[in-house]
Amino acid sequence: MAAPLHPIVYWAQKAETITLRVDLKDVKDPEIQLTKKSLTFKGVGIGAAGLNSYQFTLEFLKEVDPEGSAYRITDREVNFVLMKVGASVQWPKLTLPENKEPWLKIDFDKWTVEDDSEDDELRRKAEFEKDQLKQIEKQLTECEAEAYADFKKMYLCLYNFIQFIGFSYIFIYLLVNFVIKGQGMKQAYSGVIFPLSLCQCLSILEIIHPLVGLVKTGAVAPLIQVTGRNVVLFAVIRNEARIESEPIVCYLFLVWSSIELVRYPFYMLTSIGQESVVISWLRYTLWIPLYPAGLLSEILTLWTAIPFYEVTQRFCIKLPNVLNISFDMVTYLYIHIAAILIAAPTMMSHMWRQRQKRFGSKKKIH
């Protein structure tokens, strides 16, 4: 529910009276309730927020005389003259100490001070303005933080949704055409290579997200996973046309997309602060068969590519040359396979610890 709008109210005092000036234009038939200790005002007029309904309540520091008080409505404002009760002395402030309203200001044009109270009033004015600035800064900071949080939720939800749609298309296409209908390798490869390449390019953002603070996870794990996949896809598969005819490539794409069918919905719900028990369970369980299948498929794909790169010598740099460096693609493929075999136990152990942390048995406290 939206907070009520408050008009700007200026106040001043003389020895026997309090004057209020409500900064509202064209007010018609306002509701006004005045007691000894408070004033309530409701009315429709033109104020800081345009033509709207405005209201305020003031709880006075001391008592006023409702019978001796009066108000007057003009086209430009509403004026109150409130009679003080008791001795004719200056009030140190208009309202109770705990009430500090940012819309209540001092009307210095009508202020009458006695003795040496002018310095005190100027000091109060400076403190009041300082408090106002602090409140404005606080409100701006809160608004910026809220806007950033909303943007982050919207962006992360949209990113994960787009990736989910992309990998869903890849999985369904391969399952129907390659697995069920037995479509040829080249046709199946041609049907998914563009959307898969697009999704893998977008996945580079998953390395950037933790670096810029959009997610709280580290950047090392996505760096390893995204870089490893993209090297296999763009450097190995897409640069050797004969690999397109190898069935292991489509099986690799099928396993990759199977993993993402659960991972991206899980992250999409997490980004908006929601959780599905089923999706969470699948996220921390399906990796048990799929990760080994994915790693094995990557190894077999790289192993299949080795004879082709031995013949073509693509990407090989031999000495001597201007840069005085050498690179052998076949040697790199062997190193990549070895790296997968070495890293696999660590990756699987990490995923298993994550699952135990999420779904492990709880011990009772005796």
Catalytically annotated residue among 71, 169, 291, 332: 291
CB contact at 8 A, 89 and 18:
no
Handedness of CA 290, 296, 299, 303 (dihedral sign): negative
Cβ pair 189, 250 in contact under 8 A: yes
Residue 277 — left, alpha, or beta (φ > 0 → left; ψ -120 to 50 → alpha)? alpha
Of 189, 264, 298, 309, which residue is the catalytic one?
298
Q: Are 208 and 226 in contact (CB under 8 A)?
A: no
CA 237 → CA 179, 334, 346, 354, distances in Å? 20, 15, 26, 32
Burial class (CB in 10 A: 0-12, 13-18, 19+), 61: middle
CA angle 93, 132, 145 (to 5 degrees): 145
**Is 291 a residue of the active site?**
yes
On the question of a cis peptide bond just before residue 320, with omega within 30 degrees of 0, the verdict is: yes
Task: Establish whether 298 is a catalytic residue.
Answer: yes
Q: Which residues are part of the catalytic machinery? A: 291, 298
